[in-house]
Protein backbone atom coordinates (compact mmCIF):
# COMPACT_ATOMS: atom_id res chain seq x y z
CA UNK A 1 0.00 0.00 0.00
CA UNK A 2 2.86 2.37 0.84
CA UNK A 3 4.47 1.67 -2.53
CA UNK A 4 1.19 2.38 -4.37
CA UNK A 5 0.65 5.63 -2.44
CA UNK A 6 4.15 6.85 -3.23
CA UNK A 7 3.77 5.90 -6.88
CA UNK A 8 0.47 7.81 -7.06
CA UNK A 9 2.01 10.85 -5.38
CA UNK A 10 4.98 10.75 -7.76
CA UNK A 11 2.59 10.59 -10.71
CA UNK A 12 0.59 13.59 -9.44
CA UNK A 13 3.62 15.61 -8.34
CA UNK A 14 6.66 14.43 -10.37
CA UNK A 15 10.05 15.43 -9.02
CA UNK A 16 11.03 16.79 -12.42
CA UNK A 17 8.42 19.55 -12.29
CA UNK A 18 9.82 23.11 -12.26
CA UNK A 19 9.82 24.53 -8.77
CA UNK A 20 8.47 27.99 -9.59
CA UNK A 21 5.45 28.66 -7.39
CA UNK A 22 6.24 25.73 -5.08
CA UNK A 23 8.05 25.88 -1.75
CA UNK A 24 9.82 22.55 -2.42
CA UNK A 25 9.70 19.95 -5.16
CA UNK A 26 9.58 17.05 -2.72
CA UNK A 27 6.34 15.11 -2.53
CA UNK A 28 5.96 15.59 1.21
CA UNK A 29 6.08 19.37 0.93
CA UNK A 30 3.80 19.87 -2.06
CA UNK A 31 1.09 17.34 -1.25
CA UNK A 32 -2.20 19.29 -1.02
CA UNK A 33 -3.84 19.38 2.39
CA UNK A 34 -7.25 20.58 3.46
CA UNK A 35 -6.19 23.51 5.62
CA UNK A 36 -9.72 24.49 6.56
CA UNK A 37 -12.61 22.13 7.13
CA UNK A 38 -15.23 24.84 6.54
CA UNK A 39 -14.30 25.77 2.96
CA UNK A 40 -17.41 25.09 0.90
CA UNK A 41 -16.62 26.07 -2.68
CA UNK A 42 -13.43 23.99 -2.92
CA UNK A 43 -12.98 20.72 -1.12
CA UNK A 44 -9.21 20.84 -0.74
CA UNK A 45 -6.54 23.46 -1.42
CA UNK A 46 -2.86 23.72 -0.53
CA UNK A 47 -2.16 24.90 2.98
CA UNK A 48 0.03 27.73 1.71
CA UNK A 49 -1.73 30.09 -0.67
CA UNK A 50 1.58 31.20 -2.15
CA UNK A 51 2.12 27.58 -3.23
CA UNK A 52 -0.98 27.53 -5.45
CA UNK A 53 -0.14 27.67 -9.17
CA UNK A 54 -2.09 30.53 -10.69
CA UNK A 55 -3.56 28.25 -13.36
CA UNK A 56 -5.27 25.98 -10.82
CA UNK A 57 -6.70 28.40 -8.27
CA UNK A 58 -10.12 27.03 -7.23
CA UNK A 59 -13.40 28.91 -7.30
CA UNK A 60 -13.92 31.44 -4.53
CA UNK A 61 -17.69 32.00 -4.84
CA UNK A 62 -20.41 29.95 -6.50
CA UNK A 63 -22.44 31.45 -9.34
CA UNK A 64 -25.63 31.84 -7.31
CA UNK A 65 -23.78 33.55 -4.45
CA UNK A 66 -22.26 36.03 -6.90
CA UNK A 67 -25.56 36.73 -8.67
CA UNK A 68 -27.53 37.26 -5.46
CA UNK A 69 -24.72 39.42 -4.08
CA UNK A 70 -24.87 41.90 -6.95
CA UNK A 71 -28.68 41.93 -7.12
CA UNK A 72 -28.73 42.68 -3.39
CA UNK A 73 -26.15 45.42 -3.90
CA UNK A 74 -28.21 47.14 -6.60
CA UNK A 75 -31.43 46.80 -4.61
CA UNK A 76 -29.84 48.18 -1.46
CA UNK A 77 -28.46 51.21 -3.29
CA UNK A 78 -31.90 51.84 -4.82
CA UNK A 79 -33.51 51.51 -1.39
CA UNK A 80 -30.93 53.85 0.11
CA UNK A 81 -31.48 56.61 -2.46
CA UNK A 82 -35.26 56.30 -2.51
CA UNK A 83 -35.43 55.99 1.28
CA UNK A 84 -33.45 59.22 1.66
CA UNK A 85 -35.94 61.00 -0.61
CA UNK A 86 -38.85 59.64 1.44
CA UNK A 87 -37.28 60.85 4.69
CA UNK A 88 -36.76 64.31 3.21
CA UNK A 89 -40.51 64.63 2.69
CA UNK A 90 -41.00 64.36 6.48
CA UNK A 91 -37.73 64.38 8.48
CA UNK A 92 -39.52 64.06 11.84
CA UNK A 93 -39.83 60.83 13.83
CA UNK A 94 -42.33 59.81 16.50
CA UNK A 95 -43.08 56.92 18.84
CA UNK A 96 -46.45 55.23 19.09
CA UNK A 97 -49.33 54.84 16.71
CA UNK A 98 -49.76 58.41 15.47
CA UNK A 99 -47.53 61.31 14.60
CA UNK A 100 -48.02 64.40 12.45
CA UNK A 101 -46.99 68.00 12.01
CA UNK A 102 -48.77 69.07 15.20
CA UNK A 103 -47.54 66.35 17.58
CA UNK A 104 -44.26 66.37 19.54
CA UNK A 105 -41.39 64.47 17.94
CA UNK A 106 -39.13 61.83 19.37
CA UNK A 107 -36.37 63.44 17.31
CA UNK A 108 -36.01 65.22 13.99
CA UNK A 109 -33.27 65.48 11.42
CA UNK A 110 -31.69 68.94 11.03
CA UNK A 111 -32.57 69.21 7.34
CA UNK A 112 -35.30 71.09 5.46
CA UNK A 113 -38.33 69.13 4.31
CA UNK A 114 -39.73 68.91 0.80
CA UNK A 115 -43.20 69.99 2.01
CA UNK A 116 -44.26 73.41 3.25
CA UNK A 117 -46.46 72.09 6.06
CA UNK A 118 -43.69 70.12 7.81
CA UNK A 119 -42.16 72.36 10.52
CA UNK A 120 -38.39 71.92 10.38
CA UNK A 121 -37.21 75.44 11.25
CA UNK A 122 -36.02 76.20 7.73
CA UNK A 123 -37.50 78.96 5.60
CA UNK A 124 -37.35 76.97 2.37
CA UNK A 125 -38.20 73.48 1.13
CA UNK A 126 -36.33 70.96 -0.98
CA UNK A 127 -37.68 69.61 -4.29
CA UNK A 128 -40.35 67.01 -3.67
CA UNK A 129 -39.41 63.65 -5.22
CA UNK A 130 -41.84 61.59 -3.18
CA UNK A 131 -43.61 59.93 -6.15
CA UNK A 132 -40.84 58.03 -7.93
CA UNK A 133 -38.95 57.42 -4.69
CA UNK A 134 -41.84 55.53 -3.08
CA UNK A 135 -42.42 53.48 -6.24
CA UNK A 136 -38.71 52.59 -6.51
CA UNK A 137 -38.52 51.82 -2.79
CA UNK A 138 -41.45 49.42 -2.98
CA UNK A 139 -40.23 47.59 -6.09
CA UNK A 140 -36.63 47.29 -4.90
CA UNK A 141 -37.78 45.95 -1.55
CA UNK A 142 -39.71 43.08 -3.11
CA UNK A 143 -36.83 42.17 -5.44
CA UNK A 144 -34.56 42.13 -2.40
CA UNK A 145 -36.98 39.90 -0.47
CA UNK A 146 -37.15 37.28 -3.23
CA UNK A 147 -33.39 37.43 -3.76
CA UNK A 148 -32.79 36.91 -0.06
CA UNK A 149 -35.18 33.95 0.06
CA UNK A 150 -33.40 32.39 -2.92
CA UNK A 151 -30.00 32.86 -1.26
CA UNK A 152 -31.14 31.36 2.06
CA UNK A 153 -32.81 28.40 0.33
CA UNK A 154 -29.66 27.78 -1.69
CA UNK A 155 -27.51 28.08 1.41
CA UNK A 156 -29.60 25.58 3.34
CA UNK A 157 -29.86 23.04 0.53
CA UNK A 158 -26.19 23.11 -0.48
CA UNK A 159 -24.69 23.58 2.97
CA UNK A 160 -23.24 27.00 2.07
CA UNK A 161 -24.55 28.60 5.25
CA UNK A 162 -23.37 25.75 7.45
CA UNK A 163 -19.94 25.32 5.84
CA UNK A 164 -19.00 28.92 5.06
CA UNK A 165 -20.92 31.15 7.49
CA UNK A 166 -21.57 29.14 10.66
CA UNK A 167 -18.64 29.73 13.06
CA UNK A 168 -16.81 26.77 14.47
CA UNK A 169 -16.78 26.23 18.20
CA UNK A 170 -13.05 26.97 18.38
CA UNK A 171 -13.60 30.35 16.69
CA UNK A 172 -16.05 31.52 19.35
CA UNK A 173 -13.46 31.68 22.13
CA UNK A 174 -12.55 35.05 23.59
CA UNK A 175 -8.96 34.61 22.38
CA UNK A 176 -9.99 34.13 18.76
CA UNK A 177 -12.57 36.91 18.84
CA UNK A 178 -10.24 39.44 20.48
CA UNK A 179 -7.42 38.56 18.10
CA UNK A 180 -9.67 39.08 15.08
CA UNK A 181 -11.03 42.36 16.46
CA UNK A 182 -7.53 43.71 17.21
CA UNK A 183 -6.25 42.81 13.75
CA UNK A 184 -9.17 44.70 12.18
CA UNK A 185 -8.67 47.73 14.40
CA UNK A 186 -5.02 47.77 13.35
CA UNK A 187 -6.05 47.53 9.68
CA UNK A 188 -3.95 44.42 9.16
CA UNK A 189 -4.24 42.71 5.79
CA UNK A 190 -5.95 39.30 5.78
CA UNK A 191 -3.91 36.14 6.21
CA UNK A 192 -3.61 33.52 3.49
CA UNK A 193 -6.29 31.34 5.07
CA UNK A 194 -8.79 34.24 5.12
CA UNK A 195 -8.44 34.60 1.36
CA UNK A 196 -10.34 31.33 0.94
CA UNK A 197 -12.51 31.30 4.04
CA UNK A 198 -14.35 33.97 6.07
CA UNK A 199 -12.90 34.89 9.45
CA UNK A 200 -15.02 34.70 12.58
CA UNK A 201 -16.01 38.39 12.49
CA UNK A 202 -17.19 38.05 8.91
CA UNK A 203 -19.19 34.94 9.74
CA UNK A 204 -20.91 36.56 12.73
CA UNK A 205 -21.61 39.85 10.96
CA UNK A 206 -23.00 38.16 7.84
CA UNK A 207 -25.26 35.92 9.92
CA UNK A 208 -26.42 38.96 11.91
CA UNK A 209 -27.26 40.88 8.73
CA UNK A 210 -28.90 37.94 6.94
CA UNK A 211 -31.00 36.61 9.82
CA UNK A 212 -31.66 39.73 11.92
CA UNK A 213 -31.13 43.11 10.24
CA UNK A 214 -32.65 42.23 6.85
CA UNK A 215 -35.73 40.46 8.30
CA UNK A 216 -36.22 43.27 10.81
CA UNK A 217 -35.98 46.04 8.22
CA UNK A 218 -38.51 44.13 6.07
CA UNK A 219 -40.82 43.67 9.05
CA UNK A 220 -40.73 47.33 10.05
CA UNK A 221 -41.23 48.36 6.44
CA UNK A 222 -44.32 46.20 6.08
CA UNK A 223 -45.61 47.49 9.43
CA UNK A 224 -45.97 50.94 7.83
CA UNK A 225 -48.31 49.55 5.17
CA UNK A 226 -52.04 50.01 5.97
CA UNK A 227 -52.92 46.85 4.01
CA UNK A 228 -50.41 44.75 5.95
CA UNK A 229 -51.52 46.22 9.28
CA UNK A 230 -55.18 45.52 8.55
CA UNK A 231 -54.34 41.89 7.79
CA UNK A 232 -51.87 41.36 10.66
CA UNK A 233 -52.41 44.08 13.29
CA UNK A 234 -50.32 42.18 15.85
CA UNK A 235 -47.25 42.62 13.65
CA UNK A 236 -47.31 46.39 14.20
CA UNK A 237 -48.76 46.36 17.72
CA UNK A 238 -45.78 44.46 19.04
CA UNK A 239 -43.54 47.22 17.68
CA UNK A 240 -45.51 49.92 19.49
CA UNK A 241 -47.45 51.34 16.55
CA UNK A 242 -46.89 52.50 12.98
CA UNK A 243 -44.81 55.52 13.94
CA UNK A 244 -42.65 53.33 16.14
CA UNK A 245 -42.18 50.99 13.19
CA UNK A 246 -41.08 53.93 11.02
CA UNK A 247 -38.54 55.04 13.64
CA UNK A 248 -37.18 51.51 14.05
CA UNK A 249 -37.02 51.16 10.27
CA UNK A 250 -34.86 54.27 10.13
CA UNK A 251 -32.39 53.01 12.74
CA UNK A 252 -32.11 49.53 11.22
CA UNK A 253 -31.42 51.17 7.86
CA UNK A 254 -28.60 53.16 9.47
CA UNK A 255 -27.17 49.91 10.86
CA UNK A 256 -27.20 48.40 7.37
CA UNK A 257 -25.47 51.48 5.95
CA UNK A 258 -22.81 51.17 8.66
CA UNK A 259 -22.33 47.50 7.75
CA UNK A 260 -21.97 48.47 4.08
CA UNK A 261 -19.29 51.06 4.87
CA UNK A 262 -17.30 48.64 7.03
CA UNK A 263 -17.71 45.90 4.42
CA UNK A 264 -16.39 48.10 1.60
CA UNK A 265 -13.56 49.30 3.84
CA UNK A 266 -12.47 45.74 4.62
CA UNK A 267 -12.66 44.80 0.95
CA UNK A 268 -10.46 47.78 0.11
CA UNK A 269 -7.96 46.78 2.79
CA UNK A 270 -7.83 43.18 1.57
CA UNK A 271 -7.36 44.14 -2.07
CA UNK A 272 -10.32 45.81 -3.76
CA UNK A 273 -9.59 44.72 -7.32
CA UNK A 274 -9.00 41.08 -6.44
CA UNK A 275 -12.04 40.78 -4.18
CA UNK A 276 -14.37 42.43 -6.68
CA UNK A 277 -12.95 40.29 -9.47
CA UNK A 278 -13.55 37.17 -7.38
CA UNK A 279 -17.16 38.21 -6.73
CA UNK A 280 -17.72 38.81 -10.46
CA UNK A 281 -15.93 35.84 -12.04
CA UNK A 282 -15.64 33.48 -9.08
CA UNK A 283 -11.89 33.06 -9.65
CA UNK A 284 -8.68 34.93 -8.97
CA UNK A 285 -5.38 34.76 -10.79
CA UNK A 286 -3.16 35.49 -7.81
CA UNK A 287 -3.41 35.53 -3.99
CA UNK A 288 -5.92 38.22 -3.11
CA UNK A 289 -4.23 39.46 0.03
CA UNK A 290 -1.14 40.49 -1.92
CA UNK A 291 -2.89 42.73 -4.45
| pLDDT, tens digit, 9 for 90 and up, residues 168-226 | 888 888 888 888 888 777 777 766 555 556 788 888 999 999 999 999 999 999 999 98
Q: Tell me, what CATH number does 167's domain have? A: 1.20.950.20
What is the extent of the structural domain holding 158?
A: 63-290
Per DSSP, the three-state class of 108 is strand
Structural domain contains residue 32: no
Average pLDDT, the chain: 79
Residue ranges of the chain with pLDDT lower than 50? Answer: 1-56, 287-291
In a domain, 168, yes or no: yes
Number of domains in the chain: 1
| DSSP code for 101 | T
Residue 92 lies in a domain: yes
Which residues lie below 8 Å from residue 20, measured CB to CB, with a gap of 6+?
none
Judge whether 17 lies within some domain: no
In a domain, 208, yes or no: yes
Amino acid sequence: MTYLAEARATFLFPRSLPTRGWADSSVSDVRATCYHSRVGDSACIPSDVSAVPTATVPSRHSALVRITHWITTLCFLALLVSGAEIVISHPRFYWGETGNDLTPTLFKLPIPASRNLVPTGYGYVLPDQNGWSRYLHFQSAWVLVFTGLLYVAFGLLTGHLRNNLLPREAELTWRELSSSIISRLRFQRPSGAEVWSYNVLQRLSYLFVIFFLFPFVIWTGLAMSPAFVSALPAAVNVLGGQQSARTLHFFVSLALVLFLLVHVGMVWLAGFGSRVRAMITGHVTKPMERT
